[in-house]
Chain A
Amino acid sequence: MSTLETLARAPRATLEFANVILTTSDAEIGPTPREVVWTHRGTTLYRYRSERREHSIPVLLVFALINRPQIFDLRKGNSFVEFLLAEGFDVFLLDWGVPDEADSDMGLAEFVCDELHWAIRETLRCAGEEELTLLGWCIGGTLCAMYCALHPVGAVRNAALLTTPIDPSGSLYARWVSGDDYDIDLIADSYPVIPGAGIDVANKLMKPVTNYVTTYRRLFQNILDGKDPRTAYQSMAKWVADNPPFPSRAFREWVTWMYKENRLVAGRLRLRGERVDLTAIEQNLLVVTAGSDHIAPREGTLPLLDLVASGDVTHLDRPGGHIGLMAGSTAKQEIWPELADWLRERSGH
């Protein structure tokens, strides 16, 4: 394209760019049809409709406490849920909901020992099975690991943990919040629920130029080049902007236990008096790390591989970022088939 052409296209591209940004909230995410199986407080368990369930062991998807779980089902044609359904899996999704001030008493124990425990129970009842696969992503993966440690022999046959913080001591987050300068008590006491927008800003500040400049520059450039990035951009941008609040008790425990005291990997974390001992994990385990993950760097996940007692441990280290690995444009061709292969081998009777 000549410079003249570029200049001629610029006004139209600017209008299109503005339109894409301004109509982002109208984008449809989470398009796959599903049914509510169970609810408790704000938590909802969904089962996705399928006409071809080939593998008996259901898959329960668990996402983090920040952002919403629609990332598993971002948009038609680029949905992990849709992919799993097409592969013949029985797919359930645990949605933590949008906590409000009344949920400020929800700590990690409530999420792991009540919500997740009960969701597993309901999944099994609904699927008519006695075992399932837990697939956790980010903090969701950590919660799943905690659950597996508390129930090494039980309903969970397979655990797949994607970009999961286990020993976050070397992460940028730890540098920010682990010192005495960060008064977690003051913040958790001030807010019944930590505003999602605040957590979003902190996440974006980890890569400020990339998040606040490069994203928009690339979008504009793509439009200028005559590409159509609307659907891909809007679905991801809408998901990124949807930040539910973090219950203050869970936030306080997460920051203190994981970042300030690093209890999980040291085996000193207790939920309702029970020690969360990662060395007790016996489930078939898949650990996925992303090479460019700045939120849960791979070095913070790898200690899990040495700790667990599982006889069947698989580690996939792939290029990509914390979210891009699973939701990027190449995920469908790269990481999803690998996950499906791993699950398929372990999902029969």
Chain B
Amino acid sequence: MSEPEIESADERVRALYEDAESKAADAFEDLVSKPSFGVLLARSAENVAAVTKISSDLADLVLRNLRVAGRADVTRLARQINRIEDKLERVLQEIEELRDELKRGPAAGAPAEAEVDGAAGLSHEPPNGSGAANGASSKPASKSGSKSDSKAGSKHISEVP
């Protein structure tokens, strides 16, 4: 008889703690949702950012005066590499497009050429400017047809219970 009582006492302590924790959680969540906490967070983030910038600039200045490449110099180089990689990626995509066109063979050549030319214009300056003729542009008409058919009807939102 005594053991279950002891167990229940143990359980009661746990339950009490969990209850206190849950109440503290609610209270803190309430606190962080206050506009004043947002202001506090914003000021802290700004201060940390400002201090980081000052120390980073200072460290770079010291390194530069010692004639050693600093972080800013490495970053500048890395950016140039990135730009070259961007260009290389676009060239690679052009090459792949041309290779695909060649693979399709001379029979499909003429119409494909027109299509790809169009796509290439799109692909390397897509709406969004970027390269890549995507599968989108080469999608068979039948597929897009069936797709638009399926979308022709009114919208039906299934709320799965």
Question: B-contacting residues of A (Cβ < 8 Å)?
Answer: 1-4, 6, 40-41, 100-103, 105, 109, 112-114, 117-118, 120-121, 124-125, 129-132, 150-151, 153-157, 172, 175-177, 179, 181-183, 186-187, 189-192, 198, 202, 205-210, 213-214, 217, 221, 271-274, 282, 284, 305, 308-317, 338
Taken together as a complex, chains A and B put the C-alpha atoms of A55 and B89 apart, in Å, by 30
Instruction: Tell me if A2 and B160 are in contact (CB < 8 A).
Output: no
Instruction: Tell me if B89 and A118 are in contact (CB < 8 A).
Output: yes
Taken together as a complex, chains A and B put the C-alpha atoms of A312 and B147 apart, in Å, by 11
Give me 16 A-to-B residue pairs in the complex whose CB atoms sit less than 8 angstroms apart, sorted by A's number.
A3-B9, A41-B82, A41-B86, A113-B128, A113-B129, A130-B135, A172-B32, A175-B33, A179-B38, A181-B38, A186-B50, A189-B53, A208-B32, A209-B21, A309-B151, A311-B150
Taken together as a complex, chains A and B put the C-alpha atoms of A133 and B10 apart, in Å, by 52
- Most chain A beta-carbon neighbours within 10 Å: one of B126, B158, B160: B160
Contacts of B93 in A (CB 8 A): 118, 121
Shortest CB distance B6–A (Å)? 5
Contacts of B39 in A (CB 8 A): 179, 181
The size of the chain B interface, using a CB distance under 8 A, is: 68
Instruction: Tell me if B32 and A205 are in contact (CB < 8 A).
Output: yes
Instruction: Tell me if A129 and B135 are in contact (CB < 8 A).
Output: yes
Contact A207/B29 with A1-B10, A2-B7, A181-B42 known, Cβ cut-off 8 Å: yes
**Contact partner, B32, options A131, A206, A221, A284, Cβ 8 Å:** A206
Instruction: Tell me if A209 and B38 are in contact (CB < 8 A).
Output: no
Contact A176/B128 with A214-B25, A310-B155, A314-B158 known, Cβ cut-off 8 Å: no
Chain B 7-37, CB-CB to A under 8 Å as 1, else 0, gives 1011000100000010011001100110101
Is B108 in the interface zone, CB < 8 Å from A? no
Instruction: Tell me if B10 and A3 are in contact (CB < 8 A).
Output: yes
Taken together as a complex, chains A and B put the C-alpha atoms of A314 and B28 apart, in Å, by 36
Instruction: Tell me if A191 and B52 are in contact (CB < 8 A).
Output: yes
Instruction: Tell me if B78 and A100 are in contact (CB < 8 A).
Output: yes
Contacts of A155 in B (CB 8 A): 134-136, 139
**Interface SS of chain B:** helix
Instruction: Tell me if A118 and B151 are in contact (CB < 8 A).
Output: no
Shortest CB distance B35–A (Å)? 7
Instruction: Tell me if B158 and A315 are in contact (CB < 8 A).
Output: yes
Taken together as a complex, chains A and B put the C-alpha atoms of A235 and B6 apart, in Å, by 36
**Contact partner, A121, options B42, B86, B135, B152, Cβ 8 Å:** B135
Chain B 52-86, CB-CB to A under 8 Å as 1, else 0, gives 11000000000000000001000100110110011
Taken together as a complex, chains A and B put the C-alpha atoms of A1 and B3 apart, in Å, by 9
Question: How many interface contacts (CB-CB < 8 Å) are there between A and B?
Answer: 203
Instruction: Tell me if B157 and A190 are in contact (CB < 8 A).
Output: no
Is B41 in the interface zone, CB < 8 Å from A? yes
Instruction: Tell me if B46 and A187 are in contact (CB < 8 A).
Output: yes
In the complex formed, the residue of A with least CB distance to B2 is A2
Is B95 in the interface zone, CB < 8 Å from A? no
Instruction: Tell me if A103 and B25 are in contact (CB < 8 A).
Output: no
Instruction: Tell me if B136 and A151 are in contact (CB < 8 A).
Output: yes
Contacts of A208 in B (CB 8 A): 25, 28-29, 32
Instruction: Tell me if A102 and B82 are in contact (CB < 8 A).
Output: yes
Contact A182/B38 with A118-B89, A311-B150, A312-B150 known, Cβ cut-off 8 Å: yes
Instruction: Tell me if A154 and B139 are in contact (CB < 8 A).
Output: yes
Taken together as a complex, chains A and B put the C-alpha atoms of A312 and B148 apart, in Å, by 11
In the complex formed, the residue of B with least CB distance to A317 is B159
Taken together as a complex, chains A and B put the C-alpha atoms of A121 and B41 apart, in Å, by 41
Taken together as a complex, chains A and B put the C-alpha atoms of A217 and B49 apart, in Å, by 33
Contacts of B75 in A (CB 8 A): 100-102, 192
**Contact partner, B130, options A114, A156, A182, Cβ 8 Å:** A114
Contacts of B131 in A (CB 8 A): 114, 117-118
Instruction: Tell me if B42 and A177 are in contact (CB < 8 A).
Output: yes
Contact A271/B33 with A157-B147, A311-B154 known, Cβ cut-off 8 Å: no
Instruction: Tell me if A310 and B128 are in contact (CB < 8 A).
Output: no
Taken together as a complex, chains A and B put the C-alpha atoms of A181 and B127 apart, in Å, by 35
A-B contacts besides A176-B42, A179-B42, 14 pairs, CB < 8 Å? A4-B6, A40-B89, A100-B78, A117-B130, A118-B132, A130-B140, A153-B136, A154-B136, A154-B139, A175-B33, A186-B46, A305-B157, A311-B154, A311-B155
